[in-house]
């Protein structure tokens, strides 16, 4: 299967942590990604993780990968109003050029 | 300095018309993509080209025809536009190897009346 699912909405208060979750079904994924889309713009890569890793930290961002459960999460520490955007997880399928994007999570940060 | 550019940014047209969207990347990437993002923000791959050759063609109506005159360009031509074609179309490019990060253009908002 090729479905990548995310919760559609998440609302947090400024300064709190945000956790955005993603589940995927294709076990042949080689890389998993998190992209951010601001209003009226294209997607920008935030971070990615190789499929043989469990965790990756990059400043305020922490990515956790549970390959057994096919679950990926993105934690944003000290969430700011500028973090309000749509966040997409994506997987690239090993041996192909194919990318599958998740349904997107709209993060709203309340001041 | 724009890495991936698309023209036009907005396109409003009548049903039945034929239109084209252009995409150019100056990153030296070998692989380019077209995506469609609908009103619910779902993003679906349409086509991918690697070194000017078609490598991915999802179940897209044959009214949509991509053309890659060279590695830096991937244009999208749409015939006989329908109301359901209204969406934002994104072009992207990647090296096609390694981490395969995709670089997206700013999008073209197509509105079919």
A99 contact residues in B (CB cutoff 8 A): 33, 45, 100, 102
Chain B: residue whose CA lies nearest to A30: B99
B21-64 pLDDT per residue, tens: 999 999 999 999 999 999 989 999 998 888 888 888 887 899 99
CB contact under 8 A, A31 and B99: yes
Average pLDDT over every residue of B63-80: 94
- The reported pLDDT for the residue numbered B12 is 98
- A86: closest CA among A69, A68, A103, A111? A103
- The reported pLDDT for the residue numbered B65 is 93
- The reported pLDDT for the residue numbered B97 is 67
Q: Is the pLDDT of residue B2 over 90?
A: no
Min distance A102 CA to chain B CA atoms (Å):
8
CB contact under 8 A, A43 and B90: yes
- The reported pLDDT for the residue numbered A37 is 96
**B4, B45, B103 ranked by CB distance to A99: nearest:** B45
Low pLDDT (below 70) residues in chain A: 1-2, 95
CB contact under 8 A, B55 and A97: yes
Average pLDDT over every residue of B86-91: 97
Cβ neighbour number for residue A79 with a 10 Å cutoff: 21
């Amino acid at each position: 299967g090729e479905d990548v699912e995310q919760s559609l909405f998440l609302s947090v208060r400024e300064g709190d942590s945000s956790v955005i979750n993603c589940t995927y079904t294709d076990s042949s994924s080689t890389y998993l990604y998190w992209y951010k889309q601001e209003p009226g713009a294209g997607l920008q890569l935030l971070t990615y993780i190789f499929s043989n890793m469990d965790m990756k930290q990059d400043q305020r961002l922490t990515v956790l990968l549970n390959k057994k459960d096919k679950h990926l999460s993105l934690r944003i520490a000290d969430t700011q109003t500028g973090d309000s955007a749509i966040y997409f997880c994506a997987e690239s399928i090993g041996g192909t050029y194919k990318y599958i994007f998740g349904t997107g999570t709209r993060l709203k940060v309340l001041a | 300095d724009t890495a991936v550019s698309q023209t036009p940014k907005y396109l409003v047209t009548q049903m039945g018309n034929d239109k084209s969207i252009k995409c150019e990347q100056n990153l030296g990437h070998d692989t380019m993509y077209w995506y469609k993002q609908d009103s619910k923000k779902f993003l679906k791959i349409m086509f991918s080209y690697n070194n000017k050759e078609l490598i991915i063609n999802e179940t897209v109506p044959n009214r949509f025809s991509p053309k890659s005159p060279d590695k830096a360009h991937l244009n999208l031509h749409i015939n006989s536009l329908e109301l359901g074609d209204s969406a934002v179309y994104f072009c992207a490019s990647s090296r096609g190897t390694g981490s395969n990060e995709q670089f997206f253009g700013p999008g073209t908002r197509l509105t079919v009346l």
